[in-house]
Amino acid sequence: MRYESAVEKAIREAVERGEFDDLPGSGRPLPNLADADENWWLRGYLRREGVPSDALLPTPIQLRKEVERLPETVRDLPTEQAVRDLVAELNARVAAWLRAPDGPRLPVRRADPDAVVEAWRAHREARSDALRRARAQEPPEPRRSRWWRRGPRAN
């Protein structure tokens, strides 16, 4: 006689009662089972949940990517102080990793706040120049007089 745990007993009894009959997908092969990749389920989970694959990278590689993407990240920030705050937060995470590194030991440099701010300013100036040129090419809207500013009506 074989030992049967409470869970195994509950499953066996449910099968005997037919509770697993006619389940959706029964008789069909599992999706992605034929894939050679052993982490097919992990990729599917990340895709379903909307988690970027960068989240699985080691910390130094994540930090290096964030430093590289910094000009695009700060591009739409409204103020210089917001840009400096974001760079300071990233530099604090880089410093924390440098103090207690985990994962592969790769060189990670801090971002230069002044260089990031200069790039941010240049992008804002270029964008505002493009907006000014686009507005200059548009014909001005005709001014309409308001009804309360009109003179007496001639009949």
CA distance 52 to 70: 17
pLDDT at position 42 is 82
CA distance 95 to 91: 6
pTM higher than the cut 0.75: no
CA distance 81 to 116: 12
Do residues 71 and 116 lie in contact, with contact meaning Cβ atoms separated by under 8 Å? yes
pLDDT at position 150 is 62
| 3-state DSSP assignment of residue 51 | coil
Q: What's the average pLDDT block by block, 10 residues per block, for the chain (155 residues)?
A: 88 92 81 71 86 87 94 92 96 94 89 94 89 77 69 58
Structure-token match 């050679």, residue found: 36
pLDDT at position 66 is 94
pLDDT at position 21 is 87
Residue 76 in tokens: 């739409």
pLDDT at position 70 is 95
